[in-house]
Chain A
Amino acid sequence: MKHADRISSVFFFLLGIAVLLKGLRFGLELNQTVGPGFFPFAAGIILCLLSFVLFIQPQMRPRPLAEKKFRINWAGWKGVLLTLLALGAYPVFINSLGFLLSTLFLLFFLFRAVARLKWQTVGVAGIIAAGGAYLIFEIWLKASLPRGFLGF
């Protein structure tokens, strides 16, 4: 986890710098109380300090202790990326395609491309799940889901 901690500490340090600079721009004081920038400014400084401690911590430790290992399972990453892609596309298309159609496409994609189920299972599970969700949320709970160009 040592290298992973270093990478994340650099990220958080840069984030802290960006936040504290923004905080300065927002203004730190306002009519004898804290201004809109005070909180981000203070949090930014603390984040930078903590990131610094995390970065130098491995050298300060007397000897390494048994700790969690950073591990990436590359075989599983394809599924993660495909799922993120599908989830990212869903809000883009939901208003134009409508809830039912976009949900059907999403489920077909996840069942087929990520879970690698047979086409028959994909069809049945997708239709039941999308239809069930439509009945529960749109008809029963009246959640006003988007209708899209087809009107449902």
Chain B
Amino acid sequence: MDLLHGLTYAFSVTFQLNNLLFAFVGCVIGTLVGVLPGIGPVAAISLLLPTTFRGDVVSGLIMLAGIFYGTQYGGSTTSILVNIPGEAASVVTCLDGYQMARKGRAGPALGMAAFASFIAGTFSIILLTLVAPPLAKLGLYFGSPEFAAMAVLGLTLLTSLSSGSMVKALMMATAGLIVGAVGVDPGMGTPRFTFGIYELEDGVGLAPAAMGLFGIAEVLANLEESLEGERTTLVEKVKGLLPNLQDWKDSAIAIIQGTFTGFFIGVIPGGNSIIASISSYALQKRISKHPEKMGTGAIEGVAAPEAANNAATGGAFIPLLTLGIPTSPVMALLLGAFMIHGIVPGPLLIRNNPDLFWGLIFSMYVGNIMLLILNLPLIGMWVKVLKIPYKILFPLILLFCLIGAYTLNNSPVEVGVMVFFGFVGFLMKKFDYEPALFILALVMGPILEESLRRSLALSGGNLMIFLHRPIALSILLFSFLLLVSLPITRMIRKRSELTSQER
């Protein structure tokens, strides 16, 4: 099926009433989750994952994808009006967005955030439409050794991009691989680390673990801080959402730059919307004619990160849809949704499930239009949502997580697993460990182990198979070089920081 046929087909799939409705529900939930601080896309998608088990897989995935890119839109509202990122990827939007709101320009800031998100989101989907099919063809040359190498690369890249200690990041990846090994071993059927609990024989569920680490842990951390703080919005009623001509002139380069930066960071394994928005903001500051204005309410400081975090969502789908490799916790959850329906995303997805592949991509175009409507004319509604006190909100977040975990298998054990990981995630926050790497390794672990086992079975137990396959060898070499160069580059950076501080 070529591109044109694909698009025509996608059009028919997306405009089925059912799929439109699911895309809309996903976008509304996504915006809501984005607006509300304390719950992110990972927790929201984990929570709604079980609802997609029954029913049509295409509609389910369209909804989950809608939540993902919807959160990027919603997150900016809270950043601009309250100076708290509604979603982690909107953290740098606070810098200029809130300053604009303080100067009485909340309307244009919100408007530009929505327009930049829309332009970048749509453009990244065009890039996804163009890049995914040829990349999937390349993926046909991938065998078990290449998949094992890609899993290693994914974990290495995420480690390299983690903000904190590299040793801690590697420890989280290793701990995730260990937890990924829980369950019946696929080779011999030996139960590993199940402690006699029957439900653990299928392994630790990704959804309860993610809900615990990202949903419950966040609530516990907020409870430890304080329940008394109230969110005060700068403006009661937002007016004048349309940016003027000067605003557009100031933001044009930022939007283009943010789109490309975000898209490419989204594609690389380990890159995510948070890194994309921060990198784009930093780049904008470097290329800006007036860098001194950044942070004081410059509209390009809103446009660049908002464009980047939305473009990254489109880019993130590429490795998943073409190679079947999740590059972030959200993509790992979507992989879980595919697997539950017996669909293996990867090079054969376009051929075997064209309705799913093209339907999902095209739904994102429609979803972006829906989000523009949801975020601009309905901004007043989201401002009201922001005023719900956390005292009322946190039991509801917990309740939804509990229901989400229970309905996975109608088993209280899944709830127990979620609560356990909730506490573990809370401790991770306290001890400064990153849960994103843990979750990714939890998904990558079984893929890595299975690919390694198959590769060795193919070669009769000879590890040299990885050296005889050029793609696998190149990927492994790149991962190795990256891992070796990491401590050196970090040390150089820290030393130069120290010297500049001393001066």
- Chain A residues with CB under 8 Å of chain B are 1, 4-5, 7-8, 12, 15, 19, 22, 26-27, 30-37, 39-40, 43-44, 46-47, 50-51, 53-54, 57, 63, 65, 68, 70, 72-73, 76-77, 79-80, 83-84, 87-88, 90-92, 94-95, 103, 106-107, 110-111, 114-117, 125, 129-130, 133, 137, 141-146
Chain A contacts for B395, CB-based, 8 A: 106-107, 110-111, 114-115, 125, 129
Which residues 382-408 in B have Cβ within 8 Å of A in the complex?
Answer: 391-392, 394-396, 398-400, 402-403, 406-407
Asked whether B139 is an interface residue with its Cβ less than 8 Å from the other chain, the reply is no
A36-B187, A76-B223 known; A94+B412 contact, CB < 8 A: yes
Closest to A68 in B: B432
Cβ-based interface call for B171 (8 A): yes
Residue in B168, B407, B415 whose CB lies within 8 Å of A137: B407
A90 and B165 CA atoms in complex are apart in Å by 36
Contact stretch, chosen from B94-102, B173-181, B246-254 = B173-181
Q: B92 contacts the other chain (Cβ, under 8 Å)? A: no
Alpha-carbon separation in the docked complex, A19 to B164 (Å): 25
CB pair A26 B498 closer than 8 Å: no
**Which 8 A-B pairs have CB atoms at the shortest separation, nearest pair first?**
A32-B461, A91-B412, A36-B185, A76-B224, A91-B415, A110-B395, A115-B391, A33-B456
Question: Are B50 and A35 in contact, with the CB atoms below 8 A?
Answer: no
Docked-complex contact A92 and B449, CB < 8 angstroms = no
Q: How far is the CA of A90 from the CA of B188 in the complex (A)?
A: 36
* CB under 8 Å from chain A, chain B span 406-465: 406-407, 410, 412-413, 415-416, 419, 422-423, 426, 430-433, 445, 449, 452-454, 456-457, 460-461
A145-B407 CB under 8 A given contacts A33-B187, A39-B449? yes
Q: Bound complex: CA of A33 vs CA of B148, how far in Å?
A: 14
Taken together as a complex, chains A and B put the C-alpha atoms of A65 and B491 apart, in Å, by: 12
Q: Is the CB of A80 within 8 A of B433?
A: no
> Would you list 7 pairs from A and B whose C-beta atoms are within 8 A, ordered by A residue?
A26-B190, A35-B188, A57-B165, A79-B223, A84-B422, A95-B412, A115-B394
Nearest CB on A from B365, distance (A): 27
Residue of A nearest to B462 (CB): A32
The distance from the CB of B133 to the nearest CB of chain A, in whole angstroms, is 34
Are B224 and A73 in touch, CB under 8 angstroms?
yes
CA distance A22 to B193 in the complex (A): 8
* Chain A residues near B54 (CB-CB < 8 A): 142
Chain A residues with Cβ below 8 Å from B456 are 32-34
B165-210 interface with A by 8 A CB criterion: 165, 167-168, 170-171, 174-175, 177-178, 181, 185, 187-188, 190, 192-193
CB–CB A83/B219 < 8 A: yes
A90 to B, closest residue via Cβ: B402
Q: Which residues of B contact A (CB under 8 A)?
A: 50-51, 54, 164-165, 167-168, 170-171, 174-175, 177-178, 181, 185, 187-188, 190, 192-193, 216, 219-220, 223-227, 391-392, 394-396, 398-400, 402-403, 406-407, 410, 412-413, 415-416, 419, 422-423, 426, 430-433, 445, 449, 452-454, 456-457, 460-461, 494, 497-498
Partner of B185, one of A26, A47, A50, A53: A26
Residues of A contacting B412 with CB < 8 Å?
91-92, 94-95
Identify which of B175, B423, B498 contacts A12 (C-beta below 8 A): B175
B192 touches A26 (CB 8 A): yes
Most buried by A among B178, B415, B416, B452: B178
Q: Check if B449 sits within 8 Å of A32, measured CB to CB.
A: no
Question: Cβ of A79 and Cβ of B224 under 8 Å apart?
Answer: yes
Please, which residue of chain B has its CB at the minimum distance from the CB of A46? B174
| Inter-chain contact B177/A39, CB cutoff 8 Å | yes
The A-B contact count (CB < 8 A) is 184
Docked CA distance A128–B219 (Å): 21
- Contact yes or no, A141 B51, CB < 8 A: yes
Cα separation A73 to B224 with both chains bound (whole Å): 6
Contacts of A80 in B (CB 8 A): 220, 223-224, 426
Q: How far is A54 from B170 in the complex, measured between Cα atoms in Å?
A: 11
Q: In the complex, A100→B165 CA distance in Å?
A: 45
List the B side residues contacting A70 at CB < 8 Å. Answer: 430-432
Most buried by B among A33, A46, A47: A33
CB-nearest residue of chain A to B389:
A115
Set of chain A residues within 8 Å of B413, measured between Cβ atoms: 91
Min CB–CB distance A88 → chain B (angstroms) = 6
Most chain B Cβ neighbours within 10 Å, of A31, A57, A130: A31
B459 to chain A, nearest CB (A): 9
Cβ-defined contact, A106 with B223, below 8 A: no
The answer for the CA separation of A18 and B326 in the assembled complex, in Å, is 29
Q: Which residue of B lies closest to A53 (CB)?
A: B167
Contact between B178 and A110, CB atoms less than 8 A apart = no
On whether the beta carbons of B419 and A79 are closer than 8 Å, the reply is: no
A8 and B406 within 8 A (CB) = no
How many angstroms between the C-alpha atoms of A110 and B400 in the bound complex?
Answer: 14
**Supplied contacts A50-B170, A117-B392, 20 more A-B pairs, CB within 8 Å:** A4-B431, A36-B190, A54-B167, A63-B498, A72-B224, A72-B430, A73-B226, A76-B226, A80-B223, A87-B402, A87-B415, A91-B419, A95-B412, A110-B394, A110-B398, A111-B392, A125-B395, A130-B399, A133-B400, A146-B410
Residues of A within 8 A of B185 (CB): 26, 36
Tell whether, in the assembled complex, residue B227 and residue A50 are in contact, meaning their CB atoms are under 8 Å apart. no
Residues of chain A within 8 A of B406, CB atoms compared: 91, 94, 145
